[in-house]
């Protein structure tokens, strides 16, 4: 069974940093694109970042509002996806989902909550 | 960015009803369109990809159609477990964007 389990969400002050992790199982991480998607009540669902496979150069994509602040990465030896978030802003407050980027966005984790507040 | 709109924003229906939700993209997305179902406190669940292809394990009462800018999600006969919020999303290019959602509740 394909499973994605996020961790690392927390309460952090504006300007702070946080690293989210996603433990993957039930499939070969190196064969799949992976994404982070977030959901805040006032902004709905927002795609955040994509990590492509080695065959696609391990390239990445980001939404404009997080580019330069967030970094998506993968550790295929540990079957993990990460999202390093720096210079956090109050607008980054959301539930963050780890998502497999196959046939659209086919499998979602349960989410981890990030709250940016002083 | 491509803007996604959905209509209606909410609807009330009864078990057994046929339900149709529409999604419109501000630019041509071809068939790079997916539909999700989300229940309160849960993660979204993918139902349809490539506008009309059913994800594995999704009941056949769900169907999708459309291409270009206009899309439809149809629930053939609404079941009790189908009361939820439904979202469309394009993946033709970055950033992927989602519709605002259509809430289906009990009449």
- Whether residue A25 is predicted with pLDDT greater than 90 in this model: the reply is yes
- Closest CB from B46, B95, B100 relative to A105: B46
User: In angstroms, rounded to a whole number, what is the distance separating the alpha carbons of residues B24 and A39?
Assistant: 21
User: In angstroms, rounded to a whole number, what is the distance separating the alpha carbons of residues A117 and A113?
Assistant: 13
Mean pLDDT of chain A: 97
Q: How confident is the model at residue A41 (pLDDT cuts 50, 70, 90)?
A: confident
Contacts of A44 in chain B (CB under 8 A): 87, 98, 100-101
DSSP character at residue A67: B
Predicted pLDDT at A43: 86
Residue of B nearest to A106 (CA): B46
User: In angstroms, rounded to a whole number, what is the distance separating the alpha carbons of residues B94 and A9?
Assistant: 25
B49–A108 CB contact, under 8 Å: no
Beta bridge partners of A71: A84
Please give the backbone phi and psi of residue A16, each rounded to the nearest 5 degrees, phi first. Answer: -80, 180
Contacts of A46 in chain B (CB under 8 A): 98
**SS3 category, B28:** coil
A103–B55 CB contact, under 8 Å: yes
Distance in Å from the first CA to the final CA of chain A? 40
- Closest CB from B42, B55, B100 relative to A44: B100
Contact A109, A35 (CB under 8 A): no
Task: Looking at chain A, list the stretches that DSSP marks H as alpha helix, in order from N- to C-terminal side.
Answer: none
For B47-89, how does the pLDDT look when each residue is reduced to its tens digit (9 = 90+)?
A: 999 999 999 999 999 999 999 999 999 999 999 999 999 999 9
For A70-97, how does the pLDDT look when each residue is reduced to its tens digit (9 = 90+)?
A: 999 999 999 999 999 999 999 999 999 9
A45–B94 CB contact, under 8 Å: no
Is A45 an 8 Å CB contact of chain B? yes
């Amino acid at each position: 069974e394909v499973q994605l389990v996020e961790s690392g969400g927390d309460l952090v002050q504006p300007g702070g940093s946080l690293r989210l992790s996603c433990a993957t199982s039930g499939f070969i991480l190196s064969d799949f694109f992976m994404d982070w998607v977030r959901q805040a009540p006032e902004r709905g669902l927002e795609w955040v970042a994509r990590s492509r496979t080695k065959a696609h150069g391990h390239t990445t994509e980001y939404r404009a509002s997080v580019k330069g602040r967030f970094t998506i990465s993968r550790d295929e030896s540990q079957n993990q996806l990460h999202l390093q978030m720096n210079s956090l802003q109050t607008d980054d407050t959301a539930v963050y989902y780890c998502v497999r980027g196959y046939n659209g966005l086919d499998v979602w984790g349960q989410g981890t909550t990030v709250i940016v507040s002083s | 960015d491509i803007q996604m709109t959905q209509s209606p924003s909410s609807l009330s229906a009864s078990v057994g009803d046929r339900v149709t939700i529409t999604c419109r993209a501000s630019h041509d997305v071809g068939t790079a369109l997916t539909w999700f179902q989300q229940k309160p406190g849960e993660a979204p669940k993918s139902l349809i990809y490539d506008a009309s292809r059913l994800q594995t394990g999704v009941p056949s009462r769900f169907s999708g159609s459309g291409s270009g800018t206009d899309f439809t999600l149809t629930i053939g006969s609404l079941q009790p477990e189908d009361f939820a919020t439904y979202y469309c999303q394009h993946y033709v290019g970055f950033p992927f964007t989602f519709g605002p959602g259509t809430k289906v509740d009990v009449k």
